[in-house]
Amino acid sequence: MFVRNAWYVAATPDEIDKDDRPLGRTVCGAAMVFFRGPDGAVTAVEDFCPHRGAPLSLGRVVEGKLVCGYHGLEMGCDGKVVAMPGQRVRGFPPIRHYPTVEQSGFIWVWPGDAEKADASKIHPLPWADNPECAFGGGLFHVKCDYRLMIDNLMDLTHETYVHSTSIGQKEIDEATPVTKVEGDEVVLSRFMNGIIAPPFWQLALRSHELPDHAPVDRWQICRFSPPSHVMIEVGVALAGQGGFDADPKVKAAATVVDFLTPETETTMWYFWGMARHFRPQDKALTAQIREGQSKIFAEDLAMLERQQCNLSAQPERKLLMLNIDSGGVQSRKVIERLMAAEQS
Q: Which residues bind a second copy (CB under 8 A)?
A: 31, 47-48, 50-55, 58-59, 67-72, 84-87, 92-93, 151, 155, 157-158, 160-162, 170, 173-174, 176, 302-303, 306-307, 309-311, 313-314, 317, 319-320, 322-325
Give 145 or 258: the residue with its C-beta nearer to a second copy. Answer: 145
In the complex with a second copy, which residue's Cβ is closer, 19 or 115? 19
Is 256:234 a contact under the CB 8 Å cutoff? yes
Which residues make Cβ contacts (< 8 Å) with residue 133, sequence separation at least 6? 127, 275, 276, 277, 280
* Nearer to a second copy among residue 151 and residue 217 (C-beta): 151
Give the 3-state secondary structure of residue 159: helix
CB of 60 to a second copy, least distance (A): 9
Nearest to a second copy of 50, 227 (CB atom): 50
Residue 288 C-beta: closest distance to a second copy, Å: 27
Of the pair 83, 114, the CB lying nearest a second copy is at: 83
Contact 3, 225 (CB under 8 A): no
Query: Closest separation between CB of residue 301 and a second copy, Å?
Result: 12
User: Radius of gyration of the chain from Cα atoms?
Assistant: 22
Say how far apart CA 64 and CA 56 lie, in whole Å: 14
Nearest alpha carbon to residue 222 among 193, 192, 189: 189
Q: Three-class SS of residue 168? A: coil
Cβ of residue 271: shortest distance to a second copy, in angstroms?
Answer: 23
Helix (H) or strand (E) holding 305: helix 283-313
Q: How far apart are CA 66 and CA 74, in angstroms?
A: 6
What 8-state DSSP symbol labels residue 69?
A: T
Q: Residue 131 has what DSSP assignment?
A: T
CB of 135 to a second copy, least distance (A): 28
- Of 52 and 249, nearer to a second copy (C-beta) is 52
Q: How far is the CB of 324 from a second copy (least distance, A)?
A: 7
